[in-house]
Structure 1
Amino acid sequence: MTILGDLLSTIFERRYRTAAPDRRDNRPMEDLVSSLVGTAGDVTGLAAASTLLQRFQEMEDSDKLQFFRHLAHDMNIDPAGVRTALDAYEASPNRKTYTAFMAAVEPKRQELIRRLNQIPGATEQLVRMRADLLRLGGADPELQALDQDFRHLFISWFNRGFLVLRPISWESPAHILEKIIAYEAVHEITSWEDLRSRLAPGDRRCFAFFHPSMPDEPLIFVEVALTADIPGSIQDLLAGDREPITATTARTAVFYSISNCQEGLARISFGNSLIKQVAADLSAELPGLKTFVTLSPIPGLTKWLSAEGIAFQDADPKLLRTLAAYYLLSARRQDGQPVDPVARFHLGNGALVHAVHAEADTSAKGRAQSAGVMVNYLYDLGKVAQNHDRYAAAGEIAASSDIRSLDAAAKKLDLREAEAAQQA
């Protein structure tokens, strides 16, 4: 951790005295909201904020939904006021009219969220509040608009400048290790011994981003294997009887699991910064590392193949690799983006589709989501910016010659008859 990171943690981890929730304050939540937004006094405001946050935590889902609808409808912008303020600014653009326009276009609920965040520990509570909003809001347009206000503020509060990168090791505090087990979303950690095998050996690393106001809650973490070559099987990579290598002899860093931890921070991007920061730190620690790759799942493959009517259940390894390459490079959504969510993430970061491997994940989950196929995304640190720009501007996917050959072979087949053609 950097000196600046230590300083930020020290500052934000301080616990200041504040007014406790007033259990005698039985006003409706709507009145508490109005009081908090309308108050000018710090003590009164902090007491109202504490009470509101405590009451929200104790609510049933139906009451939480009613609270969200109040914020969405009654604390929204006033369209007529916005038009009036815009007309005034257009007629005379100056500081006064611009300030009035900015005040008009910002809904009062944004100020409410800011004032709630004045309470020590409130950031974590607000993240959980947004998780409830995402869970309960569904497709309600007004609640989706409310979520945009949460997301707008969270993007600022959780920007890279505030995040602290911490290594996670077998010696890390138990409560942090428990959360790594709970939050692992790619390859389940089945026991403490399983966790130990991922953290304790000298050729294994784990890193997590933390926010100084949530020092005990990882936001996202990545598990890394240091290897001699690029792996093609998660079973081999995580085998309990494997022989560890000396970290200084490793030539490849494999990002084999990236897990977002906080549902309330959905669509707040951390992964790009995490991978690049970890790659830079590992390069400084181990100059012998030359290659940075992932060993990633392809979570949408079997669903897409089934929807397209493409037979794959009894396909041989070569055909599975062909289908996977076609899916990653050529299967697109209506907006032109790749169908696969993991592909969108890594390609958006500037990675290259390097190789696909059959029988790479033989777990029940791996077979269900991708017929056991996995993919290596290569992070060439000298080309990620160029790859990102081409992908962002024209949807151009960087891929190895092997992947392109497999994709081209797939296009020559009638994929719905691909299994028969392969067997013939």
Structure 2
Amino acid sequence: MITNASDWITRNVSRLRTGPDAQGKDAAGAKGSAAPKRASTGPRPLAERLEATLRRNGEALAPRALRRALGELQAVIDPRISEVEAGRRAHGVVQWYAGRELDERRDVWLLMSERFAPDLNRVSTARDHHQAAMGTADEPQAEVHLRRALVSPRLRLLQRFAIEPEGMRFLVDLRAQLLPHLKGDRRLLPLDAELEHLFSTWFDVAFLDLRRISWDSPASLIEKLIQYEAVHDIKSWADVKNRLDSDRRCYGFFHPRLPNTPLIFVEVALVDHISEGIVPLLDEAAAPVKADRATTAIFYSISNTQDGLRGVSFGDSLIKRVVETLQAELPRLKTFATLSPIPGFRSWFAKNAGVLLTRLDEKRQTELGRVVGSLPPTAERVLAAAEEASTLDARSPVRQLLMNAAAEYLGRATAEGKPVDPVARFHLGNGARVEQLNWAGDPSPKGLKQAYGLMVNYLYDLKRLDKHRALLAQGKVAVSGDVDGLFLKG
């Protein structure tokens, strides 16, 4: 949380600044005092292309088309027109954009990013006034002026696209297509920052509806579950019907402007114990448990559906809302846990196997070495043996090492005080704890590729969520006694 106005100013100016071209042009595209010089190599700057007559090889929109597109975008934020007319003009741009190829769309992104930036002279003046006013009675008003100066024409442009019913879908899809290009073209960063900021407000959980998705839901909605399921692929209509059976629940967050598409959804199994593997939960032939007799809710899949909403967090709120809904419906439920993949474990183990081997005592090194054919055991031999994880019995030294390593990975491997595993980072950040490691929890090719088939239960102990969050803030991960017993000594 930003508690200081100066911090807020610095962060926003750095995100919205677009580079030398922004210095020489105002938000409407007027020519500045001096156009930037083009580098000897690389693409022509947008400013130079707008002033040119001919298109060069590799450029998408010709200069004339580029200028026309800029004019159409500027017309959307004309202060003399009504919101209704602004929405109509934005709709026209959307229709034109829909017929453009990817390279042409990139030119539109550049126009939005570079030609609709804040007026840096105005920002500089307002910032100077704010700094001069700090500590005086004029500071609040100076901060207001500075905040207003930082509001870019780009923000107004994006807001006006959202006036039309399909405008939200247009913006979400635009960002989804934009995101893969950010590393290769930093000129697009301001547009991405503006979209992420808007989406964080527009898709706040206060404006989302929690809805249950059942077998009685429209077929078009159930098809979206099949399309967007990201954890355990849905193989057939029988599979999805099983996941929506009487002892299963599926809930999603919906936005009024995207009414038929869940932004994120969670699949829940109602059982009588903490599940150790995914196969029984997805078994279509298994007899359903009576929902009103279930004591445990297992969250076994959480899927985001919109790439364009990356960075907008509502998964933690989804779980909390679902827990509240389930408790109201089924009072016997006392345990809420996940059955989760460990997607980063295999690659982490490959990098750290050598270090982990040095932490084994002499007896374990000898036992492991005899099995892998190397005394002392080497990381290379251990990794080769781990490839046969699905055949290892409970007494296998290789299997025991993998369990130790998984505990180390989930309970001790952190970066900047946060778990390195993305799924662990999500659940532990919500206040869950690492409860139980499950050998062969997911024997599918995907499960073996991610974590040698291992899965983990994160327990949501509703009375200790805040305590676990506090521990994580100190760089400590909350784990059960069983997981703590798997940590390597030394």
Please state whether the residue corresponding to 1:239 is helix, strand or coil.
coil
**Contact conserved, 1:253 with 1:291, CA < 8 A, in 2?**
yes
1:335-386 deviations in whole A, cap 9, x for unaligned?
A: 2322110000001100000000111101010000110000000001111122
State yes or no: 1:204 paired with 2:286: no
How far did 1:314 drift? 4.0
Match of 2:403 in 1: 321
1:158-186 deviations in whole A, cap 9, x for unaligned?
A: 10110000000001001100001000000
State yes or no: 1:160 paired with 2:160: no
State yes or no: 1:126 paired with 2:185: no
**Contact conserved, 2:404 with 2:486, CA < 8 A, in 1?**
yes
Please state whether the residue corresponding to 2:251 is helix, strand or coil.
strand
State yes or no: 1:109 paired with 2:154: yes
State yes or no: 1:398 paired with 2:469: no
**Contact conserved, 1:320 with 1:358, CA < 8 A, in 2?**
no
How far did 1:74 drift? 1.9
Give the whole-Å Cα distance in 1 for the aligned partners of 2:260 and 2:314. Answer: 17
Give the whole-Å Cα distance in 2 for the aligned partners of 1:128 and 1:139. Answer: 19
Give the whole-Å Cα distance in 1 for the aligned partners of 2:162 and 2:227. Answer: 27
State yes or no: 1:34 paired with 2:67: no
Matches within 5 A, 1:18-417: 28-42=68-82, 43-91=84-132, 93=138, 97-199=142-244, 201-309=245-353, 310=379, 311=383, 312-314=386-388, 316=392, 317-333=399-415, 335-391=416-472, 393-407=473-487, 410-412=488-490
Show structure 2 runs of 5+ residues with no match: 1-64, 354-378, 393-398
Give the whole-Å Cα distance in 2 for the aligned partners of 1:96 and 1:55. Answer: 42
Q: Which amino acid aligns with 1:50?
A: H
Give the whole-Å Cα distance in 2 for the aligned partners of 1:98 and 1:403. Answer: 50
1:202-241 deviations in whole A, cap 9, x for unaligned?
A: 1111000000111011100000000010010101111122
Q: Which amino acid aligns with 2:286?
A: R
Structure 1 residues 112 and 203: CA distance shift in structure 2, 3 A: same
Give the whole-Å Cα distance in 2 for the aligned partners of 1:276 and 1:389. Answer: 18
Please state whether the residue corresponding to 2:249 is helix, strand or coil.
strand
Considering only CA atoms, is the larger Rg found in Structure 1 or Structure 2?
2
Structure 1 residues 213 and 192: CA distance shift in structure 2, 3 A: same
**Contact conserved, 2:417 with 2:474, CA < 8 A, in 1?**
no
**Contact conserved, 2:412 with 2:477, CA < 8 A, in 1?**
no
Give the whole-Å Cα distance in 2 for the aligned partners of 1:98 and 1:304. Answer: 46
Structure 1 residues 217 and 110: CA distance shift in structure 2, 3 A: same
How far did 1:289 drift? 0.5
Q: Which amino acid aligns with 2:127?
A: L
Give the whole-Å Cα distance in 2 for the aligned partners of 1:56 and 1:137. Answer: 20
**Contact conserved, 1:65 with 1:137, CA < 8 A, in 2?**
no
How far did 1:139 drift? 4.4
How far did 1:53 drift? 1.5
Give the whole-Å Cα distance in 2 for the aligned partners of 1:210 and 1:324. Answer: 35
Please state whether the residue corresponding to 1:406 is helix, strand or coil.
coil
Match of 1:19 in 2: none
Please state whether the residue corresponding to 1:169 is helix, strand or coil.
coil
Give the whole-Å Cα distance in 2 for the aligned partners of 1:39 and 1:191. Answer: 53
Give the whole-Å Cα distance in 2 for the aligned partners of 1:178 and 1:307. Answer: 40
Give the whole-Å Cα distance in 1 for the aligned partners of 2:235 and 2:188. Answer: 37
How far did 1:94 drift? 6.3
Give the whole-Å Cα distance in 1 for the aligned partners of 2:139 and 2:80. Answer: 27
**Contact conserved, 1:248 with 1:288, CA < 8 A, in 2?**
yes
1:268-297 deviations in whole A, cap 9, x for unaligned?
A: 111100001101110111110110000000
My pick for the range that moved more, 164-173 or 95-104, is: 95-104
Give the whole-Å Cα distance in 1 for the aligned partners of 2:140 and 2:423. Answer: 45
Q: Which amino acid aligns with 1:365?
A: K
Give the whole-Å Cα distance in 2 for the aligned partners of 1:239 and 1:269. Answer: 31
Give the whole-Å Cα distance in 2 for the aligned partners of 1:187 and 1:252. Answer: 20
How far did 1:91 drift? 4.0
Match of 2:13 in 1: none
Give the whole-Å Cα distance in 2 for the aligned partners of 1:95 and 1:345. Answer: 37
Tell me the percent identity: 42
Structure 1 residues 103 and 221: CA distance shift in structure 2, 3 A: same
Please state whether the residue corresponding to 1:221 is helix, strand or coil.
strand
My pick for the range that moved more, 367-376 or 46-55, is: 46-55
My pick for the range that moved more, 274-283 or 128-137, is: 128-137
Q: Which amino acid aligns with 2:110?
A: R
Q: Which amino acid aligns with 2:483?
A: I
Give the whole-Å Cα distance in 2 for the aligned partners of 1:91 and 1:375. Answer: 55
Q: Which amino acid aligns with 1:283?
A: Q
Give the whole-Å Cα distance in 2 for the aligned partners of 1:267 and 1:356. Answer: 29
**Contact conserved, 1:39 with 1:45, CA < 8 A, in 2?**
no
Q: Which amino acid aligns with 1:35?
A: A
How far did 1:98 drift? 3.9
Please state whether the residue corresponding to 1:297 is helix, strand or coil.
coil
Give the whole-Å Cα distance in 1 for the aligned partners of 2:184 and 2:434. Answer: 34
